[in-house]
Structure 1
């Protein structure tokens, strides 16, 4: 075994060191460090003004004074002047001075801001749209104030400089630069100085980058890969336009949803910019996840709205290709019933797709019911018709699904009514409605006094605010028992006569307008026909006749604020003399929805005392201009109008005496239609016509 020699202790200092270090740390300190430290500081090395040690119990006022020389007594050495070197400049303004475009095109955004672009417009063709965006987002423009300091202006200018760079990248200019000059700085000897408080940005877009590689993930594996790829209209070599990428992502997502891809996924697009190539590689991973057909619709509240009923509402049948629009339409349709406050639709795969064979997806509908009882009321007034107050109570799902019961009443100057209505929505298809209405009413007008009970049934297809249809129709039947008192030619009130009327009818309308409640363009054309049989029980006579009517309206925007509107109505009764027809079934004209300026039913043949007798034919024509005003942010319209109409005793209109009314109205637009006030004046009034008439109602006159 080998033994190692003992090592010598390491010393902090060599014994043969210099004299200066030996004086500070003698060899005795190395031999006995603790003893050397206890000897303290030699007297000759102590500070001359060292303070004596202070005992712990010494009073503070016995502490010796401490004196420190006052700064005034300290003399500082003179600092020599420094001469600037050639590569160092001293600016008088604290802001950076940058070079500018010597031959640029200046755009004065405002008194505060100027943008300068290359004079060659082809270098930056998106300039106009770029400026509009900058105006909308600029901090200098948004926060401009006469009280701003130059420092505040500079801070906002720096933010706007970053904004301009971001905007250039939106249009594909990833190497673009912005040179900023703020408030009173002269950017160069040849450039004019900016006014105090002004900002100038020189925009140097540089080259516009183009799309390099395009990676759309698994899109090529989809059954409709070519169709879907065509929907994403970005190819290699196209400009890198961020807005375009977002738009095409939306178009591709729409195409996936429209072609059966119920569970398709698209990741957010990513751009990898390569400045060496002036290109951007686009990656947007798409996972189509298979194609599907619709299965069935199920409801989590089958006793309220069953899955079968929801399937009737849907615009698709089981086995149809899945489309996202049909799914969203079903959700809107369920909300439109008014019976639910919220709807969730969850797609559930029941059959997985196979190569060349779509899978099946069911729709599970979750419903939160809304209050189903409604209490409503309205008030109307016409200077000729008087007041009318209407009220109703309705339970909108008393007979599920969507079977409502409505009780209504009218109390007015000329009319009183009490009625009960059963209505079932979405019967045998979407927006098909079955209505059965029973009512009793009394009407006392200038033309007749009627007391009646009636039962009416209608099956119809209607337009709704959710889906305005180009064609609507309705068919129905009516049974009416009425006691009516007319007047003779001398104005004498005749005894009441009892009529029993049976009728079947049909109506249809073509609608190309852009709005159900307040159209601005398009036309409507409608027709109505009703064969009727009437028995006068007092004189034991039967009459058969046919009521027909054609209506039309047209709407044309003249300018952004003016819409011209016109309408006509042509009606006729054929097959029986006027006296054989109950007064309430005859034709009349005049009033707020007819010829304004004249009283309700006041136009046409009259007795010696001015009582209208009604006729077998009627014609009406109206024209008005709906002018939007700036009042209340455009919610108020002024509507000058002219109406004309005639009623004849024969089956064809007599145009020898046409009544004309003119006037002006106001509309206040609300979410449920405009509130209307019209004042009409008759141009050729008869002996019994008033000098003007006022009408108040809801909705346009036509």
Structure 2
């Protein structure tokens, strides 16, 4: 006979009262937790301690009796999983709460006070594979090295082998491949494990139509063009990931997910659904850098991510530099770019740009203007190439005479970026190089301008110390020194080249008309920067650095080349989106006696 509603209400009231009683119990301090692993190797003992919920609770100061009791009951499965992951399948686990086995304590008998918890894990022998097979396998599939007869029978190896087998078939176009069955048997007497995994490859499929969901302003046909999913071609997980990457890098979307359909469209098409969430269309950014002699540099931009509904990116940017500089006037520039992804191919971005500016340096002042067409080809997440067409104009005056330069150019460059973090790299390298042939008009010579920038990073001492090195340079061939646009020549000195030396303090002295001498930039530049970065805490770091720069007319390391250097110490504070940088430097080589200089900015110096 079922209980009456009155009896049910009484039971509910009693349960609520018990819950309230337990909730009202005070948090009593725990005396200690003894964690013993007799017979365990050091690495296994460390893994067991690292996975222990009780030890984690203790380190987090969670000593409430109810919390510890709940952690103790969950501890069995947690430690058992760690043993299986290490290949131990006959382990014995005891968790005693003040002498009582935690697993034998009913929830309503949970202790109100806990003084001592004793955890004992006897791992037993490490099992080895007596059999390790996955079948059938697609051609070219590589299984984990330790999934073999005689190898340690770690549970992770079995999962990895099954995943590798499925992925091997998916790479061959069998999108619905999966595990059809498994036969895993442990022989405790001989400490052997037999593991046999059966796979079902399923049919070989082709990409079906791309279904779009969640778009608001983006046109579906442009989403398909940007994704570049090859509909009608053999299914490939790599192509699926690449399509998602292409959509994300437009910056239009807050999130992107591509999901395979559960059903197959006859005869062999697999529809793909792209679910997107769009970002806000507008974005802006402001930045500032300060140097004691070079003054303040302010920069910023405003950007529309999706101007015409096809991920067209309109960007208006500007910069004012050398505000309050001691040796030069104020520079400024204002520009606009319009870029369109997925033009010609899914990985090609074509853009238009226009820029005007003014330069007021110690050696010359000039008004600048430039318009051009750009094209960027993305080969991978690490490698991109670029080209374009540009018309450049400059008109101004140096210390001797007026000048005017006009030229068209066809720059061709590439960037190879394998850094782990663009703003605070600790390993990897970065290479950027460009060749820029230019055709001059009027008094402007023709030639080619080469530039390069190579950086490398290496960390050790568990990542607390990072060594960073940079080599940058440039050269101009074919054009005379005075026939080359002034803004295309090279200077050294300042935060981007040699810290401790005044901004663009190293150039070339040229004998001009009427035996007048003027200083302009050089045709050759070579610079290097070395840094040793030490993490003092998670947020604070210190840096020691040495910078070198050289300017030449007829080549590198010639009699006419001049060089200088600087060194100093820096401080870093990690903000979460890049370190705040404070560098203090002074000249250590060259003829400049500029004293100590200070640089403040966001992000590492390189």
TM-score, normalising length: structure 1: 0.66
Q: What is residue 129 of structure 1 aligned with on the other side?
A: 44
The CA deviation at 1:422 is 1.3
| Residues 225 and 342 in structure 2, CA contact (< 8 A), matched pair in contact too | no
The CA deviation at 1:572 is 2.4
1:475 aligned residue (387, 390, 394): 387
CA shift in 2, pair 1:660/1:144, >3 Å: closer
Q: What is residue 548 of structure 2 aligned with on the other side?
A: 644
| Residues 140 and 153 in structure 1, CA contact (< 8 A), matched pair in contact too | no
Q: Does 1:453 align with 2:369?
A: yes
CA shift in 2, pair 1:444/1:661, >3 Å: same
Q: What is residue 504 of structure 1 aligned with on the other side?
A: 410
Please tell me whether Structure 1 or Structure 2 has the larger radius of gyration of its CA atoms: 1
Q: What is residue 22 of structure 2 aligned with on the other side?
A: none
The CA deviation at 1:117 is 2.8
CA shift in 2, pair 1:643/1:302, >3 Å: same
Q: Deviations over 1:152-182 (max 9, x none)?
A: 9999988867866675566565554457788
The CA deviation at 1:558 is 4.7
The CA deviation at 1:594 is 0.6
Query: Structure 2 CA distance, aligned partners of 1:542 and 1:170?
Result: 71
| Residues 208 and 269 in structure 2, CA contact (< 8 A), matched pair in contact too | yes
The CA deviation at 1:475 is 1.6
Q: What is residue 628 of structure 1 aligned with on the other side?
A: 535
1:399 aligned residue (284, 287, 308): 308
Aligned counterparts, 1:343-382, within 5 A: 343-348=256-261, 351-352=265-266, 359-382=268-291
**SS of equivalent to 1:243:** helix
CA shift in 2, pair 1:636/1:320, >3 Å: farther
| Residues 51 and 78 in structure 2, CA contact (< 8 A), matched pair in contact too | no
The CA deviation at 1:271 is 6.2
| Residues 501 and 532 in structure 1, CA contact (< 8 A), matched pair in contact too | yes
Q: What is residue 332 of structure 1 aligned with on the other side?
A: 245
CA shift in 2, pair 1:658/1:239, >3 Å: closer
Query: Structure 2 CA distance, aligned partners of 1:147 and 1:505?
Result: 62
Q: Does 1:554 align with 2:456?
A: yes
2:433 aligned residue (527, 542, 558): 527
Q: What is residue 70 of structure 1 aligned with on the other side?
A: none
| Residues 603 and 612 in structure 1, CA contact (< 8 A), matched pair in contact too | no
Q: What is residue 16 of structure 2 aligned with on the other side?
A: none
2:164 aligned residue (231, 251, 272): 251
In structure 1, the gaps of 5 or more residues are 1-109, 119-123, 186-196, 354-358, 489-493
CA shift in 2, pair 1:171/1:657, >3 Å: closer
CA shift in 2, pair 1:641/1:430, >3 Å: farther
The CA deviation at 1:409 is 2.8
| Residues 153 and 182 in structure 1, CA contact (< 8 A), matched pair in contact too | no
The CA deviation at 1:590 is 1.0
Q: Does 1:441 align with 2:353?
A: no
Aligned counterparts, 1:32-43, within 5 A: none
Q: Which of the pair has the greater relative contact order for Cα pairs under 8 Å at 6+ separation? A: 2
Query: Structure 1 CA distance, aligned partners of 2:446 and 2:227?
Result: 40
Q: What is residue 343 of structure 2 aligned with on the other side?
A: 427
| Residues 51 and 79 in structure 2, CA contact (< 8 A), matched pair in contact too | no
Q: Deviations over 1:383-408 (max 9, x none)?
A: 33322222322212213422222222
Q: Deviations over 1:401-428 (max 9, x none)?
A: 2222222233443222232211122333
Q: Which has the higher strand share?
A: 2
Query: Structure 2 CA distance, aligned partners of 1:547 and 1:636?
Result: 40
Q: What is residue 486 of structure 1 aligned with on the other side?
A: 398
Q: What is residue 139 of structure 1 aligned with on the other side?
A: 54
The CA deviation at 1:659 is 0.8
**SS of equivalent to 1:244:** helix
**SS of equivalent to 1:331:** helix
CA shift in 2, pair 1:528/1:139, >3 Å: closer
Residue-pair matches, total = 548
Q: What is residue 587 of structure 2 aligned with on the other side?
A: 682
Q: Does 1:543 align with 2:543?
A: no
Query: Structure 2 CA distance, aligned partners of 1:334 and 1:146?
Result: 45
| Residues 549 and 570 in structure 1, CA contact (< 8 A), matched pair in contact too | yes
Q: Name the stretch that deviates more: 324-333 or 198-207.
A: 198-207
The CA deviation at 1:662 is 0.7
Query: Structure 2 CA distance, aligned partners of 1:509 and 1:398?
Result: 27
The CA deviation at 1:641 is 0.9
| Residues 572 and 652 in structure 1, CA contact (< 8 A), matched pair in contact too | no
Query: Structure 1 CA distance, aligned partners of 2:76 and 2:223?
Result: 59
Query: Structure 2 CA distance, aligned partners of 1:549 and 1:207?
Result: 62
The CA deviation at 1:642 is 0.8
Q: Does 1:665 align with 2:570?
A: yes
The CA deviation at 1:312 is 4.9
Aligned counterparts, 1:12-23, within 5 A: none
CA shift in 2, pair 1:428/1:694, >3 Å: farther
TM-score, normalising length: structure 2: 0.75
| Residues 444 and 485 in structure 2, CA contact (< 8 A), matched pair in contact too | no
Q: Does 1:569 align with 2:437?
A: no
CA shift in 2, pair 1:150/1:137, >3 Å: closer
1:415 aligned residue (317, 328, 331): 331
| Residues 390 and 411 in structure 1, CA contact (< 8 A), matched pair in contact too | yes
The CA deviation at 1:529 is 2.3
Query: Structure 1 CA distance, aligned partners of 2:438 and 2:66?
Result: 87
CA shift in 2, pair 1:291/1:456, >3 Å: same
Q: Deviations over 1:257-306 (max 9, x none)?
A: 33323234448979677879987786877554322122443435597244
CA shift in 2, pair 1:565/1:135, >3 Å: closer
CA shift in 2, pair 1:144/1:577, >3 Å: closer
Aligned counterparts, 1:60-75, within 5 A: none
Aligned counterparts, 1:308-323, within 5 A: 310-314=224-228, 317-323=230-236
CA shift in 2, pair 1:648/1:468, >3 Å: same
Query: Structure 1 CA distance, aligned partners of 2:56 and 2:309?
Result: 59
Aligned counterparts, 1:543-622, within 5 A: 543-559=445-461, 560-605=463-508, 612-622=519-529
2:173 aligned residue (260, 270, 274): 260
Q: What is residue 304 of structure 1 aligned with on the other side?
A: 218
Q: Deviations over 1:607-642 (max 9, x none)?
A: 999984222222222211122221xx2x33322111
CA-based RMSD: 4.5
CA shift in 2, pair 1:386/1:351, >3 Å: same
| Residues 534 and 543 in structure 1, CA contact (< 8 A), matched pair in contact too | yes
| Residues 140 and 160 in structure 1, CA contact (< 8 A), matched pair in contact too | no
